Amino acid sequence: MLIDGYAALTAKAALQPHHYPPAELAGHDVLIKISHCGICHSDIHLIDNDWHVSSYPLVPGHEIIGEVVAVGTQVTGLRTGIRVGVGWQAGSCGSCAQCRGGHEQLCAQNMATCVGRPGGFATYVIAQDKFAVPIPATLASDVAAPLLCAGITVFSPLARYQVGPGVRVGVVGIGGLGHLAVQFAHQMGAHVTAFSTTANKQDEAHRLGADHFVLTRAADAMAHAAGSCDLILTTASVDVDWEAFVKVLAPLGTLCVLGAAPHPVAVGAFGLIGGNKSISGSAIGDPATIARMLEVAANHGVAPQIERFAMRDVNTALTKVRANAVRYRAVLAN
Ligand code: NAP
Ligand code: ZN
């Protein structure tokens, strides 16, 4: 059998059809027949080699939904026919303190789904059983796909910071991650402010659950928002005005960095000291939290707003993502 995928052959290149045999299944691996795969901005960072970890041919894709079609000899929790999702992480060592403590995403040997191995812009993918999470029956596969990376990446810090009624959450960048952050924070009862560079996202941001919308480049808009958020999640794939967002934090507030901004997060010491403010980061989420996030989405109507593309139209979809023109997640279908 050959897998039909789409690969970048060099950095920044358009993807081309690429065919390769599946790797041999290790004991805990499962082979998944892919029905859908979302396009995360991390796929674009990888195609462009922004993080200097890419090797080519590179088959991107890590918001995968599909059906288990083969299992390794040590797999007990999954069987063929089960619908599962795989996100950024396809494996971990399973024995370090982080893995044993339920923080598998922090394992030093964590295996990314599409770094150094072919990902989800393809007909099949392989992942360790623990990282292939069953999908609740009520979630449609195309809508579920973006939850596997965008969804968990925003849900995990919202849960960790115990967001609930009375907490004022800011979301910077209303894209794949951001539009789900607005929905999950709203569902948790928070007061939500969307910070965007795109004026025509305002109405949709309110419909998704934002109480306020701040057009960040409007004169005085950021100054008016000073002190208005307890927790800010930054999801922009570009540098933002970090100093200005530290000022948007209320005393004791936290700015949690999710987007892979290319340059250092530079802020003056006194902006943090003055209000006992913190800057933190957060990486995806562990498999148990992914399962919990999927249940919340299924039971409380949190749903990615998607634009559908055929897998063969992957380059058309990528061009639209690069132009910040997708509302709000492109999903490829086989
Ligand atoms: P996306 O769908 O492309 O959304 C990014 C948003 O950034 C845009 O919608 C836009 O929102 C905002 N933005 C501001 N200035 C921009 C500019 N000049 N060009 C493009 N966008 C601009 O991306 P995503 O999939 O949500 O991913 C966002 C970032 O998170 C990426 O850097 C990705 O690698 C990273 N990420 C991190 C993790 C993690 O574990 N921490 C997981 C997944 C992704 P407005 O129009 O509202 O301004
Ligand atoms: Zn991602």
Q: DSSP string of 56-102? A: SSB-----EEEEEEEE-TT--S--TT-EEEE-SEEE--SSSHHHHTT
* Stretch 157-166: mean pLDDT: 98
Ligand 1 atom closest to Cα of 281? Answer: 41
Percent of the chain with pLDDT over 70: 100
pTM value is 0.98
* Stretch 278-301: mean pLDDT: 98
What's residue 150's pLDDT?
Answer: 99
Separation CA 88–CA 91 (nearest Å): 9
Percent of the chain with pLDDT over 90: 99
Nearest alpha-carbon partner for 196 in 322, 328, 44, 316? 328
Ligand 1 atom closest to Cα of 326? Answer: 2
Amino acid at 25: L
> Is the backbone peptide bond immediately before 328 cis, with ω within 30 degrees of 0?
yes
Q: Looking at the predicted structure, is the pLDDT value of residue 270 above 90?
A: yes
For 1-35, how does the pLDDT look when each residue is reduced to its tens digit (9 = 90+)?
999 999 999 999 999 999 999 999 999 999 999 99
**Average pLDDT for the chain:** 98
The confidence band for 206, taking pLDDT boundaries of 50, 70 and 90, is: very high
What's residue 273's pLDDT?
Answer: 98
What's residue 242's pLDDT?
Answer: 97
Separation CA 47–CA 42 (nearest Å): 9
What's residue 266's pLDDT?
Answer: 95
What's residue 292's pLDDT?
Answer: 98
The confidence band for 155, taking pLDDT boundaries of 50, 70 and 90, is: very high
CA 116 to mean position of chain CA atoms: 19
* Stretch 168-178: mean pLDDT: 98
The confidence band for 89, taking pLDDT boundaries of 50, 70 and 90, is: very high
Interhelix angle for 287-300 vs 150-160, to 10°?
A: 100
For 106-151, how does the pLDDT look when each residue is reduced to its tens digit (9 = 90+)?
999 999 999 999 999 999 999 999 999 999 999 999 999 999 999 9
Ligand 1 atom closest to Cα of 201? Answer: 47
Nearest CA to ligand 1 atom 10: 173
Residue list, ligand 1 pocket, CB within 6 Å = 40-42, 45, 149-150, 153, 173-178, 196-198, 201, 235-238, 258-260, 282-284, 321, 324
Q: Looking at the predicted structure, is the pLDDT value of residue 287 above 90?
A: yes
Q: Which two tokens stand for residue 149?
A: 């990376």
The confidence band for 219, taking pLDDT boundaries of 50, 70 and 90, is: confident
